[in-house]
Amino acid sequence: LAKTTQPISMDSYEGQEVNITCSHNNIATNDYITWYQQFPSQGPRFIIQGYKTKVTNEVASLFIPADRKSSTLSLPRVSLSDTAVYYCLVGFTGGGNKLTFGTGTQLKVEL
Protein backbone atom coordinates (compact mmCIF):
# COMPACT_ATOMS: atom_id res chain seq x y z
CA LEU A 1 0.00 0.00 0.00
CA ALA A 2 1.40 3.35 -1.01
CA LYS A 3 2.25 5.64 1.90
CA THR A 4 1.00 9.19 1.74
CA THR A 5 2.35 12.40 3.22
CA GLN A 6 0.23 15.51 3.72
CA PRO A 7 0.61 18.74 5.68
CA ILE A 8 -0.78 18.33 9.17
CA SER A 9 -2.75 21.54 9.02
CA MET A 10 -3.64 24.52 6.83
CA ASP A 11 -5.39 27.80 7.50
CA SER A 12 -7.40 29.83 5.04
CA TYR A 13 -10.06 32.51 4.79
CA GLU A 14 -13.49 32.41 3.28
CA GLY A 15 -13.55 32.92 -0.46
CA GLN A 16 -9.98 31.78 -1.04
CA GLU A 17 -8.84 28.82 -3.06
CA VAL A 18 -7.16 26.10 -1.03
CA ASN A 19 -4.71 23.61 -2.45
CA ILE A 20 -3.70 20.58 -0.40
CA THR A 21 -0.85 18.51 -1.74
CA CYS A 22 -0.27 14.86 -1.02
CA SER A 23 2.94 12.96 -1.72
CA HIS A 24 2.80 9.30 -2.68
CA ASN A 25 6.18 8.38 -4.09
CA ASN A 26 5.61 4.62 -4.25
CA ILE A 27 2.24 4.66 -5.94
CA ALA A 28 1.58 1.49 -7.94
CA THR A 29 0.36 1.26 -11.51
CA ASN A 30 -3.10 0.07 -10.47
CA ASP A 31 -3.54 2.61 -7.67
CA TYR A 32 -6.11 5.36 -7.76
CA ILE A 33 -5.92 8.56 -5.70
CA THR A 34 -8.96 9.34 -3.60
CA TRP A 35 -9.68 12.24 -1.30
CA TYR A 36 -12.09 12.17 1.61
CA GLN A 37 -13.43 14.85 3.91
CA GLN A 38 -14.25 14.24 7.56
CA PHE A 39 -16.12 16.44 9.99
CA PRO A 40 -15.87 15.80 13.74
CA SER A 41 -17.82 12.75 14.90
CA GLN A 42 -18.83 11.78 11.39
CA GLY A 43 -17.63 9.17 8.93
CA PRO A 44 -15.45 10.32 6.03
CA ARG A 45 -17.18 11.54 2.90
CA PHE A 46 -15.90 10.98 -0.62
CA ILE A 47 -14.77 14.14 -2.40
CA ILE A 48 -12.99 13.17 -5.58
CA GLN A 49 -10.97 10.43 -7.20
CA GLY A 50 -8.51 10.33 -10.07
CA TYR A 51 -5.86 8.30 -11.80
CA LYS A 52 -3.96 10.88 -13.83
CA THR A 53 -4.09 14.45 -15.17
CA LYS A 54 -7.01 16.50 -13.91
CA VAL A 55 -10.40 15.61 -12.55
CA THR A 56 -13.08 18.12 -11.65
CA ASN A 57 -16.47 17.76 -10.03
CA GLU A 58 -18.95 20.10 -8.43
CA VAL A 59 -16.95 20.52 -5.23
CA ALA A 60 -13.26 20.16 -6.07
CA SER A 61 -10.53 19.57 -8.60
CA LEU A 62 -7.76 17.03 -8.42
CA PHE A 63 -4.47 17.61 -10.18
CA ILE A 64 -2.16 14.68 -10.78
CA PRO A 65 1.19 15.16 -12.54
CA ALA A 66 2.45 12.71 -15.12
CA ASP A 67 4.67 10.80 -12.67
CA ARG A 68 1.70 10.42 -10.26
CA LYS A 69 4.01 10.73 -7.26
CA SER A 70 1.90 13.53 -5.85
CA SER A 71 -1.55 15.00 -6.17
CA THR A 72 -3.21 18.27 -5.26
CA LEU A 73 -6.73 18.72 -4.07
CA SER A 74 -8.05 22.15 -4.98
CA LEU A 75 -11.06 23.61 -3.19
CA PRO A 76 -12.35 26.76 -4.90
CA ARG A 77 -13.69 29.60 -2.77
CA VAL A 78 -13.79 27.84 0.58
CA SER A 79 -16.33 28.69 3.23
CA LEU A 80 -16.46 28.13 6.97
CA SER A 81 -18.26 24.85 6.38
CA ASP A 82 -15.20 23.48 4.59
CA THR A 83 -13.35 23.35 7.91
CA ALA A 84 -12.61 19.64 8.20
CA VAL A 85 -9.90 17.03 7.95
CA TYR A 86 -8.98 16.01 4.41
CA TYR A 87 -7.46 12.62 3.73
CA CYS A 88 -5.54 11.51 0.67
CA LEU A 89 -5.70 7.77 0.04
CA VAL A 90 -3.86 5.79 -2.56
CA GLY A 91 -4.76 2.27 -3.50
CA PHE A 92 -6.85 -0.10 -5.51
CA THR A 93 -9.96 -1.45 -3.90
CA GLY A 94 -11.26 -3.51 -6.72
CA GLY A 95 -12.24 -6.87 -5.33
CA GLY A 96 -12.37 -5.59 -1.77
CA ASN A 97 -8.76 -4.61 -1.21
CA LYS A 98 -8.39 -2.38 1.80
CA LEU A 99 -7.49 1.30 1.98
CA THR A 100 -5.54 2.77 4.86
CA PHE A 101 -5.67 6.35 6.05
CA GLY A 102 -2.71 8.65 6.56
CA THR A 103 -2.60 11.52 9.00
CA GLY A 104 -4.84 13.83 6.99
CA THR A 105 -4.78 17.63 6.76
CA GLN A 106 -6.81 19.72 9.18
CA LEU A 107 -8.13 22.67 7.19
CA LYS A 108 -9.37 25.62 9.19
CA VAL A 109 -11.31 28.31 7.36
CA GLU A 110 -11.87 31.63 9.05
CA LEU A 111 -13.84 34.75 8.22
User: b/e map of 62-80 (b: 16 or more CB within 10 Å)?
Assistant: bbbeeebebbbbbbeebee
Q: Does residue number 87 form part of the binding site for another protein (CB under 8 A)?
A: yes
> Which positions from 8 to 47 touch another protein by CB under 8 A, shown as an x/- string?
----------------------x-x-x-x----xxxxxx-
CB 53 within 8 A of CB 110: no
φ, ψ at 110 (rounded to 5°): -120, 165
Q: Does residue number 5 form part of the binding site for another protein (CB under 8 A)?
A: no
Which residues sit at the interface with another protein, rule CB under 8 A?
30, 32, 34, 36, 41-46, 49, 87, 89, 91-94, 96, 98-104
